[in-house]
Structure 1
Amino acid sequence: MPRLVVVSNRVAVPDPTGNRAAGGLAVALREAFEAYRGLWFGWSGKVAAHPSTEPRIVDKGQVQYALMDLTSLDRQEYYNGFANRALWPIMHYRIGLSEFSRADYQGYLRVNRTFANALAQLIRPDDLVWVHDYHLIPLAAELRAAGITNLIGYFHHIPWPAPEVLGALPGSRELLRAIMDYNLVGVHTERDADNLRRGLIHDLGAIQHKPDVVEVDRQRTRIKGFPIGIDVGEFQRLAGRSQSNRIIRQTTDGLGSRKLIIGVDRLDYSKGIPERMEAFERFLGTNPDQRGRVTYLQIAPTSRSEVPEYATLGRVVNETLGRINGTLGEPGWVPIHYVTSTYQRSVLAGLYRLAAVGLITPMRDGMNLVAKEYVAAQDPADPGVLILSKFAGAAQQLKAALIVNPNDKIEVAEAIREALQMSQEERVSRWESMMSVLQAQDVSWWAATFLKELTSNKTRTASRASVRLAK
């Protein structure tokens, strides 16, 4: 059986107690590693005085971890700079927030080249290589240049924008050329896959051979949607056992007879948190009888605090929060509880189960697993209602949710009212419809389907001429 080599920006090494890392890519790839065994390569998260030329190897049973340190300049240019100040906003349709720097772009290419040169020394001839996310788009091109002929797949965990949006980013053509060095490219939705294929056709003159195969300069790449799932059974178990947790007990006692609305997001401008708060404000304004009878809990751990746009967002959220609570709050009742702490999955599962409404309204999102976790955590006999942005990838699967335009505060406010008034019979029917989708396309299905597609990829041979990025 071939070994699976996973490459990602950050590597989730289990802690010294042997506990597995929770959340994110670690959970998504756990069962894939159990099936294939393998190597996980990427940034250690540490900043060193000198760049790594060889990875630090950590053995943890069936998975070997290969960790690379970055210099402070690498972190600034590759991670904070091009990846998160140029690529991230463009991919989320926020052209006005994208800050392109030629130095940052060169740093992005430099780190990808450094990673590829180090990884090339570890790859065996029959390894399957699976690269993850926007930090590492050029990696396959660099691996091909280093002589690697293995099958290489790429999964893009955030939205892929329309060609006219991506085209606003300097260097976008080079990134599209780099995509062609992957045998298989996965995105969450067919909408994103179509955007990428159209970009390749428009900007590189790609020829489309089949609905999901494009060719540029005799190189063929398959581009498909693979909606990522969650471990449904695990989340159900966590939610069912959560009532004994101290935080869940305290929250239950504090709510009393009030209904809970919950939002859980990383603090990011793509998540629409200020807009969501204002929609809740609109709901309270048009439904004054609900004041004191419903509470909105927004959990939003901070991230990327070194990026100026995120500091600005934090101030906007706090100002919006203060205005709403100050204007509408009453003695003994605060409309919005805002928490920036990071909670364990077991606690989140319990909070989801408590909530009558899951308010998940990103302005743009690749998938949004919180929406799926909220559904999985519900009591089958008395489930809550999911309100979901039509711009989240999850909306393509969870069609029984109340689908809204997050830019329309009136529409979101009306959806909150509808959710709170919905009959138990309708809530159960909607929940059962969404659960059937989650169970059929869970995280195991996602990983197995992608890897099966990669190993059966016959669109081209793995030994191919590389396309080098402009240096």
Structure 2
Amino acid sequence: MSRLIVVSNRVSAPVDPAAGSAGGLAMALSAALRKYDGLWFGWSGETTEQFTGELKYEDRAGVTVALVDLEAQDVEEYYNGYANKTLWPLFHHRVDLTAYERSYGEGYERVNRRFAEVLAPLIQPDDIIWIHDYHLIPMARDLRRLGVKNRIGFFLHTPWPVRQLLVTLPHHRRLVESLFAYDLIGFQTQEWLDLFRDYVISEARGELAGYGGLEAFDRRVRVGVFPIGIDVQGFIDARNSPQGARTYDRMAASSAFRSMMVGVDRLDYSKGLEERMLGYEQFLHDNAEMRGDVFLVQVTPISRDDVDTYQDIRARLDALAGRINGEYADMDWQPIRYLNRSYRRDQLAGIYRAARVCLVTPLRDGMNLVAKEFVAAQNPEDPGVLILSRFAGAAEQMCEALLVNPFSREELSDAIKKALTMPLAERVRKWQALMQVVRDTDVSIWRDTYVDALKGVEIIGDGDAPFHGHADAA
């Protein structure tokens, strides 16, 4: 039986699945790796004086993990540089924040090559390889150069940028060409896939090739939409767990006859946090009669704090939350509770359940699973309302949410008022439709659909050329 090898920048396989803190993606991939007797490979998060390629093996809840250390220069150029200062802002349409430095690109190529050189000797003839996200776009190309002929799939968790912005990237054609070393490329939404096709057809003179295929650079690759989801039952279990129930009780008690709104976002300029707070401020300005009856709990764990851009946004958010609280707070009420810390999954489930409204308002996002987690956490008899940015990938599926333009503070203000005053019957109807979407896109369905599609790709080629899949594979 073939193994599944998962490759990602960082390995997130849970040490203890019962702990309740692991994300749904980690749980789903861990289950797949146990099913296929697989291996999870990636960077250890540690640095070494000199790269040796020495692997450190761990068993994490029945999943074999293989970790490799990187040099400090690798981390600076590949991770902090090209991944987080070049590709991340570009893929989220923030060209104003994108840094184009030659050393970043060189580090990105070097680390992908090093990963391939370390992984290649571990690959057995029947193994299936699944590589994740923008950090590792060229890795299949480097594996092919080392003679790996196995099926290799790639899944992009972020958006794909519009062609007019992607062409601002030096060597953009080389980056896209490296994707054609894969057999299957997966995207979160039809929009991101359409943007990729537009680039291939317009810039690379590529062509559509049968059902789900693209042909360019003298190669053919299958592409498809595989919307990711959450571990629905696992999240419901977390909600109903003792910790989930305790957290719900605490949050419900702290609401004290007020309506609680919640936002849960990693600290990042793509999440629209400043725009969200400004929209909430507009609501407070426009609806004086509702002040004191509502408050926002904004959970924002700090990330990438060694990147200047993230230090800047943290300072701006601290100042903005302080200004809004200073302007509107009363002796027994504070409009914003701004929390820069992480919470376990069962705690988040309890927070979500206590919330009357959830604000998921990124400026651009690949999917955004907070929207699905909030829906799964709700009381079916008295559910809360989801306010969702139309620029989140989840908006393509979750049409019954209140879809908003996060750049418009007036539109956000109006949506908050509508959500807080929505009749119970309408809330229940919307929740039922959204919950069906959440169940239909469970993370295990996403995982199995993608792996089955990759296993079904027909391998063609000769011994010296990169192998690629038939575009019309079912």
TM-score, scaled to structure 2: 0.95
Q: Note if 1:330 corresponds to 2:330.
A: yes
- Evaluate the alpha carbon distance shift between residue 274 and residue 217 of structure 1 in structure 2; reply closer, same or farther with a 3 A threshold: closer
SS of equivalent residue, structure 2 residue 373: helix
SS of equivalent residue, structure 1 residue 298: strand
Alignment-mate amino acid for residue 184 of structure 1: L
The answer for unaligned runs of 5 or more in structure 2 is: 468-474
Q: Is the 8 A contact 1:242 1:349 kept in 2?
A: no
Distance in 2 (alpha carbons) for counterparts of 1:39 and 1:241? 30
Count residues with an aligned counterpart.
467
- Evaluate the alpha carbon distance shift between residue 9 and residue 48 of structure 1 in structure 2; reply closer, same or farther with a 3 A threshold: same
SS of equivalent residue, structure 1 residue 278: helix
1:30 corresponds to: 30
CA deviations on 1:117-162 (whole Å, 9 max, x unpaired) are 0100100000000000000000000000010000000000010111
Segment drifting more, 228-237 vs 307-316: 228-237
1:448 corresponds to: 448
2:176 corresponds to: 176
- Evaluate the alpha carbon distance shift between residue 183 and residue 464 of structure 1 in structure 2; reply closer, same or farther with a 3 A threshold: farther
Q: Note if 1:339 corresponds to 2:339.
A: yes
1:83 corresponds to: 83
SS of equivalent residue, structure 1 residue 297: strand
Distance in 2 (alpha carbons) for counterparts of 1:243 and 1:107? 43
Alignment-mate amino acid for residue 374 of structure 2: Y
Residue 64 of structure 1 deviates from its aligned partner by 1.5
Residue 50 of structure 1 deviates from its aligned partner by 1.5
2:258 corresponds to: 258
Q: Is the 8 A contact 1:14 1:20 kept in 2?
A: no
1:120 corresponds to: 120
Distance in 1 (alpha carbons) for counterparts of 2:208 and 2:129? 25
Distance in 2 (alpha carbons) for counterparts of 1:2 and 1:464? 23
SS of equivalent residue, structure 2 residue 209: strand
TM-score, scaled to structure 1: 0.96
1:413 corresponds to: 413
- Evaluate the alpha carbon distance shift between residue 174 and residue 311 of structure 1 in structure 2; reply closer, same or farther with a 3 A threshold: same
Distance in 2 (alpha carbons) for counterparts of 1:128 and 1:15? 24
Distance in 1 (alpha carbons) for counterparts of 2:266 and 2:314? 11
- Evaluate the alpha carbon distance shift between residue 461 and residue 353 of structure 1 in structure 2; reply closer, same or farther with a 3 A threshold: farther
Alignment-mate amino acid for residue 148 of structure 1: V
Distance in 2 (alpha carbons) for counterparts of 1:367 and 1:158? 7
1:129 corresponds to: 129
Alignment-mate amino acid for residue 290 of structure 1: M
Q: Is the 8 A contact 2:204 2:217 kept in 1?
A: no
Q: Is the 8 A contact 2:185 2:221 kept in 1?
A: yes
Distance in 2 (alpha carbons) for counterparts of 1:193 and 1:395? 15
Residue 438 of structure 1 deviates from its aligned partner by 1.2
- Evaluate the alpha carbon distance shift between residue 463 and residue 315 of structure 1 in structure 2; reply closer, same or farther with a 3 A threshold: farther
Distance in 1 (alpha carbons) for counterparts of 2:195 and 2:212? 12
- Evaluate the alpha carbon distance shift between residue 25 and residue 211 of structure 1 in structure 2; reply closer, same or farther with a 3 A threshold: same
1:221 corresponds to: 221
Q: Is the 8 A contact 1:159 1:365 kept in 2?
A: yes
Q: Is the 8 A contact 1:242 1:350 kept in 2?
A: no
Alignment-mate amino acid for residue 339 of structure 2: V
1:383-462 matches, within 5 Å, as 383-458=383-458, 460-461=460-461
Distance in 1 (alpha carbons) for counterparts of 2:347 and 2:452? 34
Alignment-mate amino acid for residue 279 of structure 2: A
Alignment-mate amino acid for residue 235 of structure 1: F
Distance in 2 (alpha carbons) for counterparts of 1:138 and 1:86? 15
Alignment-mate amino acid for residue 50 of structure 2: H
2:470 corresponds to: none
1:49 corresponds to: 49
SS of equivalent residue, structure 1 residue 388: strand
Alignment-mate amino acid for residue 52 of structure 1: T
The answer for unaligned runs of 5 or more in structure 1 is: none
Residue 242 of structure 1 deviates from its aligned partner by 5.3
- Evaluate the alpha carbon distance shift between residue 244 and residue 47 of structure 1 in structure 2; reply closer, same or farther with a 3 A threshold: closer
Q: Is the 8 A contact 2:364 2:391 kept in 1?
A: yes
Q: Is the 8 A contact 1:261 1:296 kept in 2?
A: yes
Q: Is the 8 A contact 1:161 1:195 kept in 2?
A: yes
Q: Note if 1:162 corresponds to 2:162.
A: yes
Residue 463 of structure 1 deviates from its aligned partner by 5.8
Alignment-mate amino acid for residue 436 of structure 2: S
CA deviations on 1:412-435 (whole Å, 9 max, x unpaired) are 110111111111111111011011
1:279 corresponds to: 279
Distance in 1 (alpha carbons) for counterparts of 2:92 and 2:29? 24
Segment drifting more, 378-387 vs 158-167: 158-167
Alignment-mate amino acid for residue 447 of structure 1: R
- Evaluate the alpha carbon distance shift between residue 463 and residue 38 of structure 1 in structure 2; reply closer, same or farther with a 3 A threshold: farther
Distance in 2 (alpha carbons) for counterparts of 1:334 and 1:346? 25
Residue 203 of structure 1 deviates from its aligned partner by 1.9
Residue 29 of structure 1 deviates from its aligned partner by 1.1
Distance in 2 (alpha carbons) for counterparts of 1:361 and 1:6? 30
Distance in 1 (alpha carbons) for counterparts of 2:314 and 2:462? 46
Q: Is the 8 A contact 2:90 2:165 kept in 1?
A: yes
Distance in 2 (alpha carbons) for counterparts of 1:17 and 1:201? 44
Residue 61 of structure 1 deviates from its aligned partner by 6.3
Alignment-mate amino acid for residue 178 of structure 2: A
2:364 corresponds to: 364
Q: Is the 8 A contact 1:160 1:193 kept in 2?
A: yes
Residue 21 of structure 1 deviates from its aligned partner by 6.3
Alignment-mate amino acid for residue 144 of structure 1: R
SS of equivalent residue, structure 2 residue 330: coil
Distance in 1 (alpha carbons) for counterparts of 2:24 and 2:320? 29
Alignment-mate amino acid for residue 122 of structure 2: L
- Evaluate the alpha carbon distance shift between residue 368 and residue 13 of structure 1 in structure 2; reply closer, same or farther with a 3 A threshold: closer
Alignment-mate amino acid for residue 63 of structure 1: V
1:354 corresponds to: 354
Q: Is the 8 A contact 1:243 1:249 kept in 2?
A: no
Distance in 2 (alpha carbons) for counterparts of 1:222 and 1:178? 14
Residue 59 of structure 1 deviates from its aligned partner by 3.4
1:143 corresponds to: 143
SS of equivalent residue, structure 1 residue 210: coil
Segment drifting more, 99-108 vs 250-259: 250-259
Distance in 2 (alpha carbons) for counterparts of 1:75 and 1:221? 31
Alignment-mate amino acid for residue 230 of structure 2: I
Q: Is the 8 A contact 1:357 1:419 kept in 2?
A: yes
Distance in 2 (alpha carbons) for counterparts of 1:215 and 1:248? 52
Residue 63 of structure 1 deviates from its aligned partner by 2.4
- Evaluate the alpha carbon distance shift between residue 375 and residue 16 of structure 1 in structure 2; reply closer, same or farther with a 3 A threshold: closer
- Evaluate the alpha carbon distance shift between residue 428 and residue 354 of structure 1 in structure 2; reply closer, same or farther with a 3 A threshold: same
